[in-house]
Amino acid sequence: MISGVMGLPKAVDPEVCDLGTSEAVEIPQSLALSYAGGFGEEGRDWIAGLPALVAELLERWELQRDGAVRSGEASLVLPVLRKHGTRAVLKLQMPREETTAALIGLRTWNGEGVVQLLDHDPDSSTMLLERLDGDRTLASIEDDDVAVGILAELQARLVRVPAPPGLRSLGDIATEMLAQVPQAVTALAHPADRQRLRGWGSAVDELVGEPGDRILHWDLHYDNVLAAQREPWLAIDPEPLAGDPGFDLWPALDSRWDDVVAKGDAVRVVRRRFDVLTEALGLDRARATGWTLGRLLQNSLWDIADGRTALASSSVAVAESLLNR
């Protein structure tokens, strides 16, 4: 999954493409390279057309630029002021299935626990969003119990909503994953990893017939919760999916992972986060464990497709923490 930014991100590549005019919007070179590498000629064409698209939308929506251009992994973010002085951001990302799903999700939630969609351009999938504080993510809260509690409350509000038409189904995704397991197992070098992957596949096989019907964020981790004015904290960057909320727990379990490992506290933290999340969402713990293993399976299949021959140590640690209780 590729995330964009709905607030103002912390890390930005200072280099920009030369657009030939000082008045044109700056395109971070990292974004240009990302699109060229990921989408080839289509991506380069989209990047080339960005300055004109931004100019057109600023005029159409009567917006005034209000800060430097920023970028996420796949989106350009421009802080703006609306005609009555309201602070907002333009988020531009090449139209794809993920951007369509994000628009469906944001319209469905209508600002309930998530950043508010103020306007959008259906042709380009550009979003005009309320501006949040991108320098204050949930990762800034040192007390992990407090942080996961805030995230759990937001997630409970999000998954309370039935999934609308037009989103991908977890049932379809799970079926596709199960079909990939036999071949993926052969790519793993260590017998223990092969056994784990088969086990995670078996867990999904037991649940695939009941995939759920809630709208899932699909990427709700600490860095995708920002401080706000309308509420203390709001979720950003959803990649909505229709399914069981148990499939949506892994990003929170894995949040700030390097810090968790450095403190030598992984098992306790994973179990504590899992307990807080399942209680807040009212989930059956065994079922939530199974779907979390499904999420680890999905991540591992992506890694194997990228050439990895071992399971991620974080995935193994999360699985072992939940299974060996």
Domain boundaries, the chain: 29-131, 136-323
Query: Which 8-state DSSP code applies to residue 210?
Result: -
**In the annotation, is 303 catalytic?**
no
Nearest to 99 by CA among 126, 66, 67: 126
Alpha-helical runs (H) found in the chain: 29-60, 97-109, 144-159, 170-185, 191-207, 250-253, 257-262, 266-281, 285-305, 313-323
Burial (CB count <10 Å: 0-12, 13-18, 19+), residue 102: buried
Query: Tens of pLDDT along 218-236?
Result: 999 999 999 999 999 999 9
- When pLDDT is cut at 50, 70 and 90, the band that residue 20 belongs to is very low
Token pair 């640690």 in the structure block, residue: 317
**What pLDDT, in 10s, does the model give residues 123-182?**
999 999 999 998 899 999 999 999 999 999 999 999 999 999 999 999 999 999 999 999
At 22-57, the pLDDT tens digits run 357 889 999 999 999 989 999 999 999 999 999 999
Phi, psi of 220 (to 5 degrees): -90, 90
**Fold designation for 136-323:** Aminoglycoside 3'-phosphotransferase; Chain: A, domain 2 (3.90.1200)
d(CA 234, CA 74): 21
Which range has the worst mean pLDDT, 58-72, 136-150, 193-207? 58-72
For residue 107, the model assigns a pLDDT of 97
Per-residue pLDDT band for 308 (boundaries 50, 70, 90) equals: very high
Average pLDDT over residues 202-217: 98
Confidence band (pLDDT; 50, 70, 90) for 70? confident
Instruction: Report the pLDDT value the prediction gives residue 143, as an integer from 0 to 100.
Output: 96
Residues 100-129, mean pLDDT to the nearest whole number: 96
pLDDT value of residue 23: 59
Count of CB atoms situated within 10 Å of the CB of 167: 21
**The pLDDT of residue 73:** 75
The answer for 270, left when phi > 0, alpha when psi is -120 to 50, beta otherwise, is alpha
Closest CA to 252 of 214, 282, 224: 224
**In whole numbers, what is the pLDDT of the chain averaged over residues?**
92
Between 3.20.20.220, 2.40.50.100, 3.30.200.20, 3.40.50.300, what CATH number should domain 29-131 receive?
Answer: 3.30.200.20
Tokens coding 208: 């695939």
Q: Cα torsion for 131, 100, 74, 144, to the nearest 10°? A: 60
Per-residue pLDDT tens for 252-277? 999 999 999 999 999 999 999 999 99
Per-residue pLDDT averaged across 285-294, rounded?
Answer: 98
**101 in Cβ contact with 168 (< 8 Å):** yes
- 3-state class of 18 per DSSP? coil
Active-site residue, from 219, 244, 248, 303? 219
The larger pLDDT score, comparing residue 20 to residue 259, is at: 259
Tally of residues, the chain:
325
When pLDDT is cut at 50, 70 and 90, the band that residue 114 belongs to is: very high
